[in-house]
Each structure stands twice: as C-alpha cells, then as structure tokens.
A and B are shown apart, each in its own frame.
Chain A
Amino acid sequence: MSDDPIVQMTGIRKDFTGVRALDGVDFTLRPGEIHAIMGENGAGKSTLIKVLTGVHTPDAGDILLDGKSVRFHSPGAAQSAGISTVYQEVNLTDNLSVAENLFAGREPRLGPFINFRAMRRKAKALLDDIGIDLNVAAPLSSYSIAMQQLVAIARAVDIESKVLILDEPTSSLDRDEVAVLLGVMRRLAEQGTAMVFISHFLEQVYDISDRMTVLRNGKLVGEWSTADLPENELIGHMLGREAVVLEQIERTAAAHQVEDETPLVSATGLGRKGSIAPYDLDVRRGEVVGLAGLLGSGRTETIRLIAGADRADSGSLAFDGAKVGGHNPRTASARGIAYCPENRKTEGLVGDLTVAENMILAMQASRGWARTIPVARRDKLVAEFIEKLDIRPANPDMPVKNLSGGNQQKVLLARWMLIEPKLLILDEPTRGIDVGAKADIQKLVAELSADGMAVLFVSAELDEVTRLSDRIAVLRDRELIAVLESEADMTTEKIVDTIVAKGGER
C-alpha cells in the first residue's frame, strides 16, 4: 500500500444562494483505505461527495486525482476517471437479470449481438471475486436489497474504480446483511480500492473505517485515524463545542418563574412503535425545552407526536390541563400548538405560493375556507411580520421558493406566530441558513419564551441547544434517556457524556 494519496481535495468551497455549503474543506483519500466522512445533517458531507463526483462544481479549491489536477463537470466524467458511487437507493433495474445489470451499457458482444454466455460467465467471475454467490441469470428483484446493494458495488468495482463512494449504503439493511456488506468492503480494501464511507451508524463506522474526516457547518473540523478518536470525542466534534460568534442572548427571569403551575404540555408514556419509545416530558409556559441527540436518535419523532403530525400508539398527552384526544395537525393548531417541521421545502412551505399566502395559511386554515381574512387585515399582518422578522426581499407577492433558506424559515415562523400559539415546536429551525438569520431566529425564540410562550426546540447543534434551553431532553437510539435540568448539567460536555454513557450500557 503506497502512501501517495489517490484523491486530494484542498480548500474546497461551494456556495449556494446565500449559504456557504462548504468552506475551505480539505479531504485526502489513500489507496486501500476506508475513509469515513462524519457530520450531522447539513454539515456538508453530501455536498463534498457531490463535488468529488462531478454533480456540483466547486467555487474554489483543487482536486487532485492520482496527483493530476482534475475538475469534473458531470457525474459521467468522474465515473470515467474511476470514481464510482453507490447510493442509499439502489440505482439498478429491478426486472433485468443480475448479469444484465452488471454489464448494462458495456455488454460483451458477438458481432452485433450480446454474448449472453460470456456475460454470465464474466458476471459469475466478478461476483466470486468479491465473495458473493448469486444466480446471475435470475432477475435482480429476486434478491434482497442488501444483495442488490452488493451487485451495485460489484458493478462499480468492475468499471475499474479507483475510488468507491458508499453513501449510507447500510441504512436499509439488517444486521446480517450489514456484516456481508462490510466483509465485501474489507476485501476490496485489501485489493487496493480506496473507499469513502458515509453512515450515521457509529458502530459500523468504528468497525470498518481506517480514518475519519469530520465536517461541521460546511467547515473541516479535522482528520483522525479511527483508532485515535474515541466515540465521545467524535460526537463532540460533530456536534460542536465552540460557540459560534452570535449575540449574547439574554434570558429574562420571567422564563424561570413558572415552576409551580401545571405544565402546559405533559406527555406521559407517549410513544409510537418503530419511531420513538414511550417517553415522559413536560413543558411549562415560558420555558424552552431543547431536544439533543444524534441524527436518527428520535428527536423529530418525539416532537411530531406532540405536534399531532404523527399518531401516538401508546401513552397520553395533556395540553393546558386537559387530556388531548384525536390529535391531528388541525386540532393541534386549534389548541394553540404550532409546528415548524425540519424540512421546510417538503413539509413546511408551498413553494409556488407567495410569501403572504404562505404566511396566512395556518390562520386561514383555522378559520375555514368560507371566512376569508379581510384583505386590509391580511396585508397589515403580513407587512408587520415581514418587518418584525426582517424578511428579505420584503415583497409579500414573491413566490416563497425564490427566497433563501433563512428567509423561508422566517416565513414559516411568521405563519405560526400569526395564530399566537401557546406552544411553538421548532425542528432544526436554523439548519442550512446563514449566520445572520440564525441569530435572528435564536433571538426570536428567546423573546417569545420571555413573553410566556412555551417552546420545544430541536437542533443538531449542541451550542444552540444549551444556549437557548431551560431544560434539555437527551435522546439516543429512539429513546429519551435523560432530562437535564440544573444549570451545571446543561453543557455540551454533559450532553455528549450522557449519550455516550447510555451507549456503553448495552
């Protein structure tokens, strides 16, 4: 194994409208190594991969492949240079045979005809090579997703890949299937293929990878040999310890004076099979409760039950002293529960509608279609919130899809502030938005809670959670494992320790 890197990316920068997705990231891949890229959602993993595979062109930085400077303008160009990608979803054709899938587009020919015998023979040899035994004449759909995944890998390897990128290949596989896949990866590494592995399963990453590069907020945190980076340090690096330079947020005393009242929200044994284990959680008026945990730990699932977005199948929920039955988004909104979902585009906004229309949607929905909000009142409210939240451009008639992420988030917030909710549920409100908008939103959360609104706040960034929250619920593996209450406990270190300690128990 030589030590000359096969891929060397330096100073990679990539901007999307208003957001810097990658900022001066370096990445080095050596032959025969399995290199994990780690980071939370929006850290820039996908963008980095897409820059390497030619889906995006970088705005700055150099890519060296085998010591030669390259710049790919299409995925095809990257592939012919020897960089193959296997995605989470299998990109093959179900109803063709295994052999046909392996050789689609480059079939062995006999004159003008496809030489099926040669194709099957070559396919068999190829699969033997990586140590799996399949009937190559059978349709691909007759095999499990894991096997299909392996066929995709075999295909990628055979196209003389020097570099193989595996983007969340294990997320739909069961334990045994994962073992087979990791086995094949080891074998390929021994044969000298360099692999980039992206997975949010820490176990697998520690099991298979030789080296890790950690990204956060589009910036490089560092590169470590896996053996030198214990899990708690990794989590610390991923979630971030250093505070981003943001305005100091002043918490008013009012937020903490509400201890004796009945809580506004009281979840008892609330849970949903396959998504979140039953949990107890209270939220009081004027209180910000943060939810912390890694990606996939059940943060979103927890709040969706309270928001009425998903139906709980166990436990009970009390709101404002009354038991909640028949919970759904409409009744939730009528009770004064507002929910800003994580994915603004698919679950939050209606892209073709204007800023104003998106803003009044929840208010109008609660009034029903027959009771229109009078135009004058609507225009006044919209103008008021555009100014209050500093939405730019300040044009209520612009389709909301043309706004930047931060401004879209503000439109979504405005939608719910219009109905003056008692409980505001925010799922990753600051993800993927610029620093200015981030500070605005954090300040707004502090203000709203000071005015007596209860807030449930999910963020992958621990700094943000610790800074804003009065209490913090910590999650791991779809389970609420602890609620940190005391001032002394609410540090990023304590949260990381709690997550790691729980992991150690099993």
Chain B
Amino acid sequence: MNPYAKRLMWPVLILVALIVVNIAATGIDFIVPSVNDGRLGGAFVNILRRSAPLMLIALGMTLVIATKGIDLSVGAVYAIGAAIACQMIIGQEDQSAAGLIFSAVALALIVTAVIGAWNGTMVAYFGIQPIVATLILMIAGRGIAQLITGGQIPKVQDSSPFTQIGRGEILTIPVPIWIAALVFVAIALLTRKTALGLLLESVGGNPEASRLAGIRSKGITVLVYLVCGLCAGLAGLIGAANLGSADANNGGLWIELDAILAVVIGGTALLGGRFYLLGTVIGVVIIGTLDDTIINVGLSSQWQFTAKAIVVFAVALLQSSEFRGWILKPFKPKPEIAAPAPAEEVPAK
C-alpha cells in the first residue's frame, strides 16, 4: 500500500464506522441525499453544509502545520471577516445591490488575507514562535471585530443576496459545499501541481537543510499564513451569511481547535513536513458527523464534548505506531530489532 493510502486508512475507517452507526440508528436516509423543491437535502448533506466553514479553516491550517507552524487566530479572523461584510452591508439603504455585496465580500477577504500575511511576517521575518504570534491576534482579533461592529450584532436583511452564500443552492447543491469543494481543489492544485507542496514539506521537515538548499522559506511561510487567513475570512462569510448576522464574540468560537483536530485526525503531524489535504477533509467530516451521531444514537447533547474526546483519543491511539505495535504484538512473528541510527558526534563549534 502506498504511504499516502496508508495514512488515510484509519480516518476513512473511522468515518465509515460513524456512518454505519448512524445508518443503523436512523435508516439508510442518513446517507442518501433527498431532493425537495430542487434542493439537495438529507442528514449527510446537511452535515457537509454545516462543516464547510470548518473545512475551509482546516485546509488552511493543514498548510500552516506543514511548515511546523500553527495558527490560533483563525477563529478571530473568522469573526473579523463576518463583521466587516455585515457591517458594510447594513450601512446601506439597498442591501440587495450586487455591487455592494461584491465589495463587502472583497473587502472582508482582502482584510483577512492581510491579517494572515501579518501572522506569517511575524513568524518568518521576526522569528516569533507561531503559537505566540497567532495568539496575539486570537485575543486581539475579537476585539477588532467588536470595534468594527461597534459592540452590536449587525443583522443583514433576509432578502439580501448576501445570505445566499450561506443558505443558497447552485444546481441543487448548497453554496457552502460548492465553496469548500472549490477551495479544496484550488489548494490541492496549488500545492500538488506546482512545487509549493514540496517546498512546504521541505521547510517544515528540515528548515536548516531547506535554507542551505536555497529555498525562499520566508516568502513561502508568509504565503501559507496568508492563505490560512483568507480561508478563515471566507469561512466567516459563510457563517455570517448563514445566520444573517455577525457575532464578534461567538462567531467561529473555538473553531481553531476543531481545525487543528481535523488536521491531526487526517494524518498530518504537528511536527511539520508531510501533509495530507484529503485526510483533513475526512477529519472535518468525522468531526461534523460526530455531533449528529450523538443525537441519532439517543444520547443527550451533553455528551457532545465527551464523545468527541473519545473519538479523538481513539484516532490518536490508532495513529500511534507504538500503540499499534503494542496491540498487534501477540499476532506478529518475532520482529527484527531495528538497529539505532549510527550516532554521529556533534562537532564542537
């Protein structure tokens, strides 16, 4: 089995298991989409639709983590993106004007991309640890969102086409699913059809070797944080459009943790290096499916966090080669003892 498929095996198995549990509890309707009034519906489609913002953020986070970094500010950037668009739209008489909605979306995306680039600059050029650099905006970002909305929750008229970003359909498929799918394809092409993916993995896998090989690691780092900020802003737009409002305090709250979780479930190590976009997608769907599963098997919603923890624990154990070795030991022929790598003396400098 190629290493890529091997990495994806466990997350896929977990997802399949979750789906089977749901089908057992609620019938085959869980997975089969229904079409009502030209809209695609059904439990699983709803899960995908709801998961779209997390999907966007987790994809951006995957790239950041591949560089040995982390972006804690995505939840706050989500809130900023939502606040900018909503505030701009409610300021106008005609909330349905196409030009207004276009410029609101564009401004939100530009600002969130700049915020992402700022994070990247702090990490790449000022050498601040990613967790610290992005922690600053994780805290300050919500404050900025509050300043934008003036402490209110701006409500966009339901008639505004802006809400269609979160609620609408194109060709019967919900718009958020379209956006998430397009972003996935775009990022996959950007990283796998250009050399960006290779250079990212190189920078994350061994920064000093990459520097000596002549890679512009700083520029790449900034680019990756920029993409991550952009994804968070887009996620905020979907969230705000869906609700028709922007809540500076609660919009996208803790989404950074779910995103990191999805990345890890998907097989990308926090140590940087190799990354798995498809794994992240599966991780996001697992997290999204989990909430429904709890209700469907008849547990009360108070179980949500505990159940999530249990699944994460299971995935983490299954991905640990130590654990697998330990659990499979009785079934294996006596393994060869791997020789440790030759110890090289560190030259005194």
Contact = CB atoms under 8 A, between A and B. Distances in A.
Interface string B192-209: 011110110110011011
Given A351-B206, A357-B198, A415 B343 contact: no
A135 interface: no
A54 interface: no
Given A348-B209, A372-B195, A330 B344 contact: no
B29 to A, nearest CB: 43
B185 to A, nearest CB: 17
Interface in B260-301: 273-274
13 contacts: A42-B344, A200-B348, A300-B349, A339-B212, A342-B347, A346-B206, A346-B209, A353-B205, A353-B273, A365-B199, A369-B199, A370-B195, A405-B342
Interface stretch (B42-50, B135-143, B213-221): B213-221
A349 B210 CA distance: 8
A350 B208 contact: no
B342 A361 contact: no
A368 to B, nearest CB: 7
Interface string B301-345: 000000000000000000000000000000000000001111111
Given A346-B206, A369-B194, A16 B201 contact: no
Contact of A352 (B210, B212, B274): B274
Given A352-B205, A353-B205, A45 B345 contact: yes
Interface residues of B, number: 32
A503 to B, nearest CB: 18
A343 to B, nearest CB: 7
A333 B348 CA distance: 27
A350 B342 CA distance: 17
A350 B206 contact: yes
A328 B108 CA distance: 38
Nearest to A309: B212
Nearest to A367: B195
B195 A332 contact: no
Given A42-B344, A343-B344, A353-B202, A333 B193 contact: no
Contacts of A415: 213
B214 A332 contact: yes
Interface centre among B195, B196, B348 (most CB of A within 10 A): B195
Contacts, number: 124
Interface residues of A, number: 57
Given A365-B213, A372-B194, 13 more contacts: A16-B339, A16-B341, A21-B342, A41-B347, A296-B347, A339-B212, A341-B212, A346-B206, A349-B206, A349-B209, A357-B201, A361-B202, A405-B342
A192 interface: no
A221 interface: no
Nearest to B341: A16
A197 to B, nearest CB: 15
A217 to B, nearest CB: 13
A357 B204 CA distance: 14
Contacts of A360: 198
Contacts of B195: 364, 367-373
A68 to B, nearest CB: 26
B347 A300 contact: yes
Nearest to B342: A16
Contacts of A467: none
A365 B215 contact: yes
Contacts of B348: 168, 171, 200, 295-296
A333 B347 contact: no
A443 B240 CA distance: 66
Contacts of B273: 350, 352-353
Interface string A404-418: 010000000001000
Interface string A275-299: 1000000000000000000011000
A476 to B, nearest CB: 15
B339 A15 contact: yes
A17 B341 CA distance: 7
A226 interface: no
A329 interface: yes
Contact of B212 (A42, A56, A347, A357): A347
Nearest to A404: B342
